[in-house]
Amino acid sequence: MRLEGKTAIVTGGASGFGAGIARKFVAEGANVMIADLNLAEDLAIELGSSARAVITNVAQGASVKSMIEATLESFGSIDILINNAGTTHLPAAMEDVSEEDFDKVFAVNCKSVYYTAKHLVPLFKKQGSGAILNVASTAGVSPRPRLNWYNASKGWMNTATKAMAVELAPDGIRVNAINPVAGDTPLLKSFMGEDTPEVRAKFLSTIPLGRFSTPEDMANAACFLCSDEASMITGVCMEVDGGRCI
User: What are the tens digits of pLDDT across the range 74-131?
Assistant: 999 999 999 999 999 999 999 999 999 999 999 999 999 999 999 999 999 999 999 9
The answer to whether 13 and 219 have CB atoms below 8 angstroms apart is no
- Among residues 150, 165, 178, 240, the one annotated as catalytic is 150
Provide the pLDDT for residue 191.
73
Q: How far apart are CA 54 and CA 95, in angstroms?
A: 37
Q: Is the pLDDT of residue 236 over 90?
A: yes
Provide the pLDDT for residue 196.
83
Q: Is 176 within the bounds of a domain?
A: yes
Q: The domain containing residue 105 runs over which residues?
A: 7-240
Percentage with pLDDT > 90 across the chain:
90
User: What are the tens digits of pLDDT across the range 204-218?
Assistant: 899 999 999 999 999
Q: Is 245 within the bounds of a domain?
A: no
Question: Residue 44 is part of a domain; what is its CATH number?
Answer: 3.40.50.720
Region for residue 17 given its phi and psi (left: phi exceeds 0; alpha: psi -120 to 50; beta: otherwise): alpha
Q: Is 44 within the bounds of a domain?
A: yes
| Cα dihedral value 71, 115, 12, 207, nearest 10 | -140
Q: Is 2 within the bounds of a domain?
A: no
Q: Is 159 within the bounds of a domain?
A: yes
Q: How far apart are CA 58 and CA 89, in angstroms?
A: 17
Q: Is 52 within the bounds of a domain?
A: yes
Q: Is 79 within the bounds of a domain?
A: yes
What is the strand order of the sheet 130-135 is part of?
51-55, 31-36, 7-11, 80-83, 130-135, 173-180, 237-240
User: Is 114 tagged catalytic?
Assistant: no
Q: Is 1 within the bounds of a domain?
A: no
- List C-alpha distances in Å: 199 to 188, 210, 215, 244: 11, 14, 21, 17
Q: Is the pLDDT of residue 235 over 90?
A: yes
Closest Cα to residue 156, out of 183, 134, 186? 134
User: What are the tens digits of pLDDT across the range 39-60?
Assistant: 999 999 999 999 999 999 999 9
> How many domains is the chain built from?
1
